[in-house]
Structure 1
Amino acid sequence: MDLKVGRKTLLDTESIEYQWIRTLASDGSSDEMINNSIRRCLGGNEDVADRIRRVALGLCPVTELLRVLPTNY
């Protein structure tokens, strides 16, 4: 699971990456389409992509995402 974004970006819920995800959602993209875009552009597996999407949309806290990342990430 290689992510192309760092921990600092993942902790910043106002980062451009999270804003991009919110834009995809507001444009009517399905959860599956957003998750596929996250995996293609930002990396990660299905679970990580889904959690990134959920953090971006305010459906879960960043700590839930951090729990599934390697401890040294």
Structure 2
Amino acid sequence: MELKIGRKTLLDIDSIEYQWIRTLASDGSSTEMINTSIRRCLGGNDDVADRIRQVALGQSSVTELLRVLPSNF
């Protein structure tokens, strides 16, 4: 479940990674396709990818995302 991005990036809601996810969503990509892209490009498992997508789209908080990550992340 190794992530290729760091904590600082995940905490920055304006990061290019979150912007990329918002662009995928606005282009009409399905939830499944977005989550698959997140796993492939940024790493993580299904739950982490879904939480990252939710944070990017304003459906969840960064705090909720951090709760599913290992405590040493």
TM range (shorter): over 0.9
RMSD between aligned alpha carbons? 0.2
**Superposed displacement of residue 72, structure 1:** 0.7
Matches within 5 A, 1:52-63: 52-63=52-63
Query: Matches of 1:36 and 1:48 in 2, distance apart?
Result: 11
Matches within 5 A, 1:27-66: 27-66=27-66
How many pairs align? 73
Residues 1:10 and 2:10 aligned together: yes
Query: Matches of 1:47 and 1:60 in 2, distance apart?
Result: 13
Structure 2 gaps, min length 5: none
**Superposed displacement of residue 42, structure 1:** 0.1
Query: Matches of 2:44 and 2:27 in 1, distance apart?
Result: 23
Give TM-score scaled by structure 1 length.
0.99
**Superposed displacement of residue 35, structure 1:** 0.1
Runs of 4+ in 1 over 4 A off after TM superposition: none
Give TM-score scaled by structure 2 length.
0.99
Show the counterpart of 2:20.
20
Query: Matches of 2:72 and 2:10 in 1, distance apart?
Result: 14
Structure 1 gaps, min length 5: none
